[in-house]
Amino acid sequence: WDEPLLFELTSPGERGVGVPTTDLPVPALPAGLARESAPQLPELSQLHVLRHYLRLSQENLGVDLNIDVGQGTCTMKYSPKVNDTFVVDQRISELHPLQDESTVQGVLEIIYRLEGLLKEISGMDRVSLQPGAGSAAIYANVSMIRAYHASRGEAEQRDEVITTMFSHPSNAACAKVAGYKVITLMPDEDGYPDIEALRAAVGPRTAALLITNPEDTGIFNPRIEEFVRLAHEAGGLCCYDQANANGILGITRARDAGFDLCHFNLHKTFSTPHACGGPAAGACGVSEALVPFLPRPTVEFDGSRYRLEDDRPESVGKIRPFYGVVPNLVRAYAWIMSMGAEGLREVAETAVLNNNYLMAKVLEIRGVSAPYAKGRRRVEQARYSWEQLNADTGIHSEQIGVRAADFGTHYWTSHHPYVVPEPMTLEPTESYSQADLDEYAAILAEVAREAYEEPEVVRTAPHRSTIHQLRQESLDDPDTWAVTWRAYRRKLGAGA
C-alpha cells in the first residue's frame, strides 16, 4: 500500500459511527464559548476509516513482525498476547479510578502484589507504580531526592546532580527540570564511567548520582559500589536507572549495590508492549529513608482489604492522574507470574547469551567495531561503530539503517551526542532465536558488503519501503515545517 492521508479520503456527508442523540433541550452556551463553525474533520464511512488504519498498520513493523533486535536500549521483547487479554477485559478497562474501593479490590491487589514482586527484584523497601513511563519515573525519583534534601534543610546547598554520558539523556534532562545543575561524567578509555572525574565532582553540593548500569553501551560498571560510596560520603543520594535491567534480573539488584532509589521501565524489562512509544509504565523503588516522599497514594493492605492511602504529608504529591498506567501494571504482573524467579534468571541469561552471540557475529562484518572494553563481554546490549566502514566508503550508520529497512528490519544509532562515532546499538533480548540472530547479522553483513561494493544502492535506499528517501531539510524551517494538515494546506498545499 501507499495509503493516502486521511484528509484526502474525505467524502462529505459520510460518517464513521452513530452517536446517541437526544430529545432533551440543549442549553445555550455563554457568549464566546459557542463554536461557530464545525471542525474540518474528514468524513468517512466506518469501513473506510478502518481500511485506512489497517493499511497504515501494515506499513509498520513491531516486535511481532520483524527481528526487532535493532532498537538497542529499548529492550524489544515479546509481549505475550495472553497478557493483553487481561487489560481489554472490562474488569480492567471499564473501571473508573474513583469507584468505591470495595468494587476494585482485584486491581488494588494486583498493584499491591506487583509492588511486592518489584521490591524483591530490586531489593528496595517500597515501590511506586504511578509514573507513566521511564523518564517520568526518573523525574519522580529526582523530585523525591529534592524533597529528601529539603526535609533536611539542604535544598539550597545541594544543587548538583551527577550522571554519565552513557546514561539515558532523561537523567540529565529531568534533573535540570527539577532545578539541578547537571554534571556529566565522560567514559574513560575503557568505556567505564571515569571514577576520577566522579571524585572531582562530588562534594557538599552533590544532591545525587543518577546512573545507568549496565550503560547504553552494554558495559557494566564494575566499580559501581565505589561510585555509590563516593556519592554517599558526600551526602548525596544514589539513584539507579534500571532501564537496562533485562540482563541482570536475579543477578544483581539496586539494593545490593547500595542505591537509595531506582526505577524500572515496565515496558522494557517487564514486557509490556511499546505501543509505538507508549503508554508505558515506570516503577520507582526507594529505600526506607525515601518512603515518606513517594508519590501519593500508595496501596496498603490490612490483611483483609486493599485501600488507597492518600494521606502522605511529606509526599512529592501526584506524578500523574490517579494511580499509574494500570493496564501495563496488570501485564507486567502477569508476565512476572508466568516467569517466577527461575524464569527471570533465564530471561537475563538468555538475553546476555543472545547479545554476546550476536556481537560475535556482527564483529565478523567488515567495517564494524565495538568500541571500548576490547575483548570483554557485554551484558544485554552493545553499541557498535561503523567508523571504519565510513572511513572506507563514506557511508554513514544512518544510511546502513535505512538500507536495512529494505530487508524488513531496522536499527537505531544512539542518543546524541554521538560519543561513539557512526553508532549502532543492538539488543537482542531473550525473545529472538538463534536463527533470527543469524538472519539479522546476515542482513547487516549484506548491507556492509553493498556499502563497499555497490555504495549507490545504500546511498539511495530505501528501495522497497512504502516511501522513498525523505527530503528532511524542510523540518527545521518554520516556513515549511507542517505539524498538521492545516499547516500543510496553508504553507505547501496547492489548495489541498
Partner 1 sequence: MAHPYIPNSVPAVRERMLKAVGAASVEEFYADIPESIRLRRPLDLPAPLRSEAELVRHLDGLLARNTPGALSFLGAGCYQHHVPAVVDEVATRSEFLTAYAGEPYEDHGRFQALWEYQSLMGELLELDVVNVPTYDGFQATGTALRMAGRVTGRRTLLIVGPVDPDKLSKIADYVRPDHDVVLVDAAAVADLDLSADVAAVYCETPNYHGILDASVPALAARAHAAGALLVAGCNPISLGVVAPPSAYGADIVCGDIQPLGIRMSFGGGNAGFIATRDDPRLVSEFPSRLFGVIPTTVEGEYGFGDVDYERTSFAVREEGKEWVGTAAALHGIMAGVYLALMGPQGMREIGETILANTAYAQRRLAEIPGVEAPSAAAGQVSFADFLVRFTGSLTAAEVNTRLLALGIHGGKVLSATDALYCVTEIHTREDIDRLAQALEEITA
Site for partner 1 in 249-268 (CB under 8 A): 249-253, 256-257, 265, 267
Q: Which of residues 51 and 459 has its CB atom nearest to a copy of itself in the complex?
A: 51
- Give the nearest distance from C-beta 385 to partner 1 in angstroms: 19
Are residues 383 and 217 in contact, defined by beta-carbon separation less than 8 angstroms?
A: yes
Placement of cell 509505538 in the chain: 276
Q: Could you give the C-alpha distances from 73 to 77, 252, 414, in angstroms and in order?
A: 11, 19, 9
Q: Which of residues 53 and 418 has its CB atom nearest to a copy of itself in the complex?
A: 53
Among 179, 203, 204, 394, binds partner 1 (CB under 8 A): 179
151 binds, among a copy of itself, partner 1, none (CB under 5 to 8 A by kind): none
Within 10 Å of residue 217's Cβ, how many Cβ atoms?
A: 30
Span from 102-110, 201-209, 387-395, 445-453 in contact with partner 1 (CB under 8 A): 102-110
> Which residue, among 349, 370, 354, 458, has the nearest Cα to 406 in the 3D structure?
458
CA–CA dist 318, 311 (Å, integer): 12
Q: Which of residues 87 and 283 has its CB atom nearest to partner 1 in the complex?
A: 87
Placement of cell 487489560 in the chain: 87
Within 10 Å of residue 94's Cβ, how many Cβ atoms?
A: 7
Are residues 213 and 240 in contact, defined by beta-carbon separation less than 8 angstroms?
A: yes
470 binds, among partner 1, a copy of itself, none (CB under 5 to 8 A by kind): partner 1
Q: Which of residues 372-391 bind partner 1 (CB under 8 A)?
A: 376-379
Residue 292 sits in the site that holds partner 1 (CB under 8 A): no
316 binds, among a copy of itself, partner 1, none (CB under 5 to 8 A by kind): partner 1
Q: Could you give the C-alpha distances from 49 to 4, 42, 58, 293, in angstroms and in order?
A: 12, 10, 14, 46
> Which residue, among 71, 355, 121, has the nearest Cα to 240 in the 3D structure?
121
Q: Which of residues 103 and 433 has its CB atom nearest to a copy of itself in the complex?
A: 433
170 binds, among a copy of itself, partner 1, none (CB under 5 to 8 A by kind): partner 1
| Angle subtended at Cα 207 by Cα 206 and Cα 210, rounded to the nearest 5 degrees | 100
Within 10 Å of residue 381's Cβ, how many Cβ atoms?
A: 30
- Provide the β-strand partners of residue 206: 160
Among 352, 368, 443, 444, binds partner 1 (CB under 8 A): 352
Q: Which of residues 30-59 bind partner 1 (CB under 8 A)?
A: 30-36, 38-50, 52-59
Among 347, 368, 400, 448, binds partner 1 (CB under 8 A): 347
Q: Is the dihedral of CA 467, 469, 471, 475 positive or negative?
A: positive
Q: Which of residues 58 and 460 has its CB atom nearest to a copy of itself in the complex?
A: 58
| Angle subtended at Cα 205 by Cα 204 and Cα 211, rounded to the nearest 5 degrees | 105
Span from 204-212, 232-240, 345-353, 441-449 in contact with partner 1 (CB under 8 A): 345-353
Are residues 245 and 73 in contact, defined by beta-carbon separation less than 8 angstroms?
A: no
Residue window 184-213: x/- pattern of binding to partner 1, with contact defined by CB under 8 A: x-----------------------------
Q: How far apart are the first and last CA of the chain?
A: 22
Span from 203-211, 218-226, 229-237, 388-396 in contact with partner 1 (CB under 8 A): 218-226
Residue window 6-25: x/- pattern of binding to partner 1, with contact defined by CB under 8 A: xx---xxxxxxxxxxxx-xx
Are residues 377 and 399 in contact, defined by beta-carbon separation less than 8 angstroms?
A: no
Among 125, 157, 182, 459, binds partner 1 (CB under 8 A): 182
Q: Which of residues 82 and 391 has its CB atom nearest to partner 1 in the complex?
A: 82
Residues that bind a copy of itself (CB under 8 A): 1, 9, 11, 14, 45-48, 50-51, 54-55, 58, 63-65, 78, 80-81, 408, 431-435
- Give the nearest distance from C-beta 420 to a copy of itself in angstroms: 30
Among 354, 381, 399, 425, binds partner 1 (CB under 8 A): 354
Q: Give how many residues touch partner 1 by CB under 8 A.
A: 222
Q: Which of residues 340 and 394 has its CB atom nearest to partner 1 in the complex?
A: 340
Q: Which of residues 21 and 196 has its CB atom nearest to partner 1 in the complex?
A: 21
Q: Which of residues 107-166 bind partner 1 (CB under 8 A)?
A: 107, 109-110, 117, 120-121, 123, 132-136, 139, 143, 146
CA–CA dist 207, 181 (Å, integer): 10
> To which H or E segment does residue 356 belong?
helix 326-362
| Angle subtended at Cα 177 by Cα 236 and Cα 169, rounded to the nearest 5 degrees | 80
CA–CA dist 483, 477 (Å, integer): 12
User: What's the one-letter identity of residue 97?
Assistant: P
Residue 28 sits in the site that holds partner 1 (CB under 8 A): yes
- Give the nearest distance from C-beta 202 to partner 1 in angstroms: 18
Are residues 209 and 227 in contact, defined by beta-carbon separation less than 8 angstroms?
A: yes
| Angle subtended at Cα 488 by Cα 487 and Cα 489, rounded to the nearest 5 degrees | 90
Among 67, 69, 72, 76, binds partner 1 (CB under 8 A): 76
Helix axes 134-151, 169-177, angle to 10 degrees: 40
Residue 225 sits in the site that holds partner 1 (CB under 8 A): yes
